[in-house]
Structure 1
Amino acid sequence: MAPAIMLAADAPKLSSANTGFMLICSALVMLMTPGLAFFYGGMVRVKSTLNMLMMSFISLGIITILWVLYGFSMAFGTDHGSLVGWSSDYVGFGGIGKTDLWPGYTIPVFVFAVFQLMFAIITPALISGALADRVKFTAWSLFTVLWATIVYFPVAHWVWGTGGWAFDLGVIDFAGGTAVHINAGAAALGVILVIGKRVGFRKDPMRPHSLPLVMLGSGLLWFGWFGFNAGSWLGNDDGVGPLMFVNTQVATAAAMLAWLGYEKIRHGACTTLGAASGAVAGLVAITPSGGAVSPLGAIAVGVIAGVLCAMAVGLKYRFGYDDSLDVVGVHMVGGVIGSLLIGLFASGAGQSDVKGLFYGGGLDQFWKQCAGVFAVLAYSLIASAVLALLIDKTIGMRIPEDDEISGIDRAEHAETAYDFTGAGGGVITAGPTAASQGGATQSKPSKKVDA
């Protein structure tokens, strides 16, 4: 059949409703990065709290500038060799008009760009949880610049950019199972294999210092994830966005309950940390698959992810790698599970007519998902390990052992998260002229007050 000729009257027109919806979704996804900071910040010991918050927060600054300068062009510009994009109009956003529409949609290019920016921001922040307690802040900032440039921007083009090899192959990734979660989880594994274990790993207690912060962070992530997932259909009025919204809630609930059930059977208790981790595992797994499965399929995805991710977090003790906050066990494993299950549970009634094995579609889509999953995993792991090694051999990745023992917050930020002296403020003074957060000099306390 000859292609239909699109008349000017048939071309997409700006939709104020869709534009407003996507701006709200962008704000929701932005909120996820501070939510992640709280989630991670509560999971570390007191002496590492601020560093953990900053490793997420700095991504808001670094990635925003890179995205405007060249990141958006690399991810969504004109395809070059199915590996990377580039469009001079997108460099510095200089060639984008305020009313230019994203091709085929009813929202401005600026809106699409800022929505995708929020994905780019949170992805390197996810990596940071695996590196808690032991990485120089300047080295982490440099790693963020290099990793986003060499790994995230090209992988985003593979998966979502027109002409990207995974996109053309037919790999389904609704909102970031491969480009975000497998990418970040594999990167985390690559870096920790280079920098090694924390001082006292498997010897000293390293329990979360604030489970209320963990629960707050997971709640903010859950809330923001509706923008992350439902917004990824870009406001199209065909029912797929609402399906994704429902599946996000359903899978997350199922994963949380499954994780708690596993905990109860294995350890005899249902923990708050387990509830928070299970919810995040469900959010991760439904991210690539939620547009392709039914709500019943979303329950299956959530249950499988909840159990398998709960099992996977213990692998670090078996294999001896120090994944501080279970980024590998939750994000990499959860992303792999959610991506591969599309090949089994795709109903053919969601974002496309593709059906998985259990709906009569055979294994064709499953093998496509495997190609996307393991290509991204291998590339991110190897490239991230090489970047970490280069930084370690030049400026050094790790803080000195004495600083790690005394606390990375003091060593890297000259602050502490909590003031136990009663004097107010949290800045560690270097001398009589050092200023506190309030602008006044913080004097040495006359006596120690225990926490």
Structure 2
Amino acid sequence: MMLDTGSTTFMILCTSLVMLMTPGLAFFYGGLAGKRNILGVMMQTFVSLGITTIMWVTIGYSLCFSGGEGGIIGNLDFAFLNGVGFDTMYAGAGNKYPNFIFIAYQMMFAIITPALITGAFVNRVTFKAYLFFLVVWQLFVYYPFVHMIWGGGILQEWGVLDFAGGVVVHATAGFAALASVFYVGKRRDRQSPPNSIPLVAIGTGLLWFGWYGFNAGSELDVNNITTLAFLNTDVAASFAAITWLIIEWSREGKPKFVGLLTGAVAGLATITPAAGFVPLWAAMLIGILAGALCYLAVQLKNKWGWDDALDVWGVHGMGGVFGTILLGVFASSSINGQSGLLEGDGAFFFKEVVAVLISATYAFIFTYLMLTIINFITPVKVNMKDEDDGLDASLHGERAYDDGAL
């Protein structure tokens, strides 16, 4: 097949956009963290760019996308990208672009997924334990769900759909975050306000921008579905942001900038599984529901005393769950060949609900057990002095700002 330069360029652009989301996430979390823990949480995010890349090109891509048809995990046929030449064409999308760019695109998803979890346990986890966490969690949570849903595994064969990662990325990361919070316990100082709301805004802007590559690129081709996914992404984020703003304004009497930004991210997470399967009107409804339901999830978290510092569970975890269920409701056969509950396909709705419940439950249980085991190798929770001093200085020997800056 002849290489299609347009499709190849598009996939390179989308891959670059998704890569940009990881630094965007670091800015988002770094701005929300207390001023003594800015670098700690940013370091946990950025280090995934290095470690996950090494894992992906050695074994990750192969475990996700080779062999294991109808199973839970792939094999090692493509380990170290063995047998994948620079001129090997991607088997899907009509063989329009080299397989290398598909490998790179999926790698960017693998990089950001575990990094999402870090906002939950900000200033409570040692860096060494986090490195173990980063490796083991991908091997036993992320890779199996990529294979099962996108790599020809059992859930894909069963008919489960997830356009860009509601189950694979957000539900697994969000419920792993909740398990992490339960394991490490509450912060000693829970009153630390965001150190830089402008930094949060920069992070949100980069995430929103990168999400176009995340969702539109997941069509893995350039066609009408690609443009729909792009527009659905923006519409859902916008409706969710304004919904969150209105709810918070009415409850607290003042319009909050952090609330507007958080609502946008909730909308982005919630539309992710459905972006290429639902009509535009449904994306509007999904955005409104995302703003309201994720806001409610965060309020419940606060009421129950769960110290998910940066609301990973409420925004990403529940966003992924709600989005996957709403995909089961609003999917339209006229869009991408799959009907949802509104068009009479209750079986598909049931499959989506079961898939997201399985992923959330497994990610929660495995993560808690994994942290328990890691703690036998190296302490997971930082000591009280390091937590009080802040992880930037105590673990990394660096400070985000010199003493005269804040």
Assess same fold via TM > 0.5: yes
Deviation for aligned residue 1:393 = 2.7
Cα distance between partner residues in 1 of 2:145 and 2:86: 27
Deviation for aligned residue 1:347 = 2.0
Q: 8 Å contact 1:354–1:361 — kept in the other structure?
A: no
Report what 1:357 is aligned to.
Answer: 341
Gaps of 5+ in 1: 1-11, 423-450
Deviation for aligned residue 1:81 = 5.4
* Corresponding position: 1:320 with 2:305: yes
Report what 1:7 is aligned to.
Answer: none
After superposition, what is the alpha-carbon deviation per residue over 1:325-356, rounded to whole angstroms, capped at 9, x for unaligned?
Answer: 000000010001110001211122222x2222
* Corresponding position: 1:297 with 2:260: no
Report what 1:173 is aligned to.
Answer: 162
* Corresponding position: 1:34 with 2:20: no
Report what 1:418 is aligned to.
Answer: 401
Deviation for aligned residue 1:159 = 1.1
- Letter of the 2:388 partner, please give it: I
* Corresponding position: 1:146 with 2:136: yes
After superposition, what is the alpha-carbon deviation per residue over 1:148-191, rounded to whole angstroms, capped at 9, x for unaligned?
Answer: 111111111111011x1111111110000000000100111111
After superposition, what is the alpha-carbon deviation per residue over 1:82-135, rounded to whole angstroms, capped at 9, x for unaligned?
Answer: 1001142x2101211111112133221111000000000000000000010111
Q: Go from structure 1 to structure 2 and tell me whether the alpha carbon gap of 1:81 and 1:248 turns closer, same or farther (over 3 Å shift).
A: closer
Report what 2:244 is aligned to.
Answer: 259
Deviation for aligned residue 1:421 = 4.0
Q: 8 Å contact 2:18–2:214 — kept in the other structure?
A: yes
Q: 8 Å contact 1:80–1:86 — kept in the other structure?
A: no
* Corresponding position: 1:339 with 2:324: yes
Q: 8 Å contact 1:257–1:275 — kept in the other structure?
A: yes
Report what 1:308 is aligned to.
Answer: 293
Deviation for aligned residue 1:273 = 0.5
**5 Å matches for 1:381-400?**
381-400=364-383
* Corresponding position: 1:211 with 2:197: yes
Report what 1:66 is aligned to.
Answer: 55
- Letter of the 2:230 partner, please give it: F
Structure 1 or 2, whichever has the larger Rg, is 1
Q: Name the SS for the 2:91 alignment partner.
A: coil
Deviation for aligned residue 1:195 = 1.2
Report what 1:187 is aligned to.
Answer: 176
- Which of 120, 124, 132 does residue 122 from structure 2 map onto? 132
Deviation for aligned residue 1:398 = 1.1
Q: Go from structure 1 to structure 2 and tell me whether the alpha carbon gap of 1:298 and 1:81 turns closer, same or farther (over 3 Å shift).
A: closer
- Which of 77, 100, 106 does residue 110 from structure 1 map onto? 100
Deviation for aligned residue 1:251 = 0.5
After superposition, what is the alpha-carbon deviation per residue over 1:224-282, rounded to whole angstroms, capped at 9, x for unaligned?
Answer: 00001100111243x10001001001101000011111101211122110111000000
Cα distance between partner residues in 2 of 1:302 and 1:107: 33
Say which structure is richer in helix: 2
Alignment root-mean-square deviation, CA:
1.2
Q: Name the SS for the 2:334 alignment partner.
A: coil
Alignment TM-score, normalising by the size of structure 1: 0.88
- Letter of the 1:42 partner, please give it: G
- Letter of the 1:227 partner, please give it: G
Gaps of 5+ in 2: none
Q: 8 Å contact 2:10–2:222 — kept in the other structure?
A: no
- Letter of the 1:101 partner, please give it: M
Cα distance between partner residues in 2 of 1:355 and 1:81: 23
Q: 8 Å contact 2:3–2:97 — kept in the other structure?
A: yes
Cα distance between partner residues in 2 of 1:104 and 1:391: 39
What is the percentage of aligned positions where both structures have the same residue? 44
More moved, 97-106 vs 377-386? 97-106
Cα distance between partner residues in 1 of 2:243 and 2:161: 25
* Corresponding position: 1:23 with 2:8: no
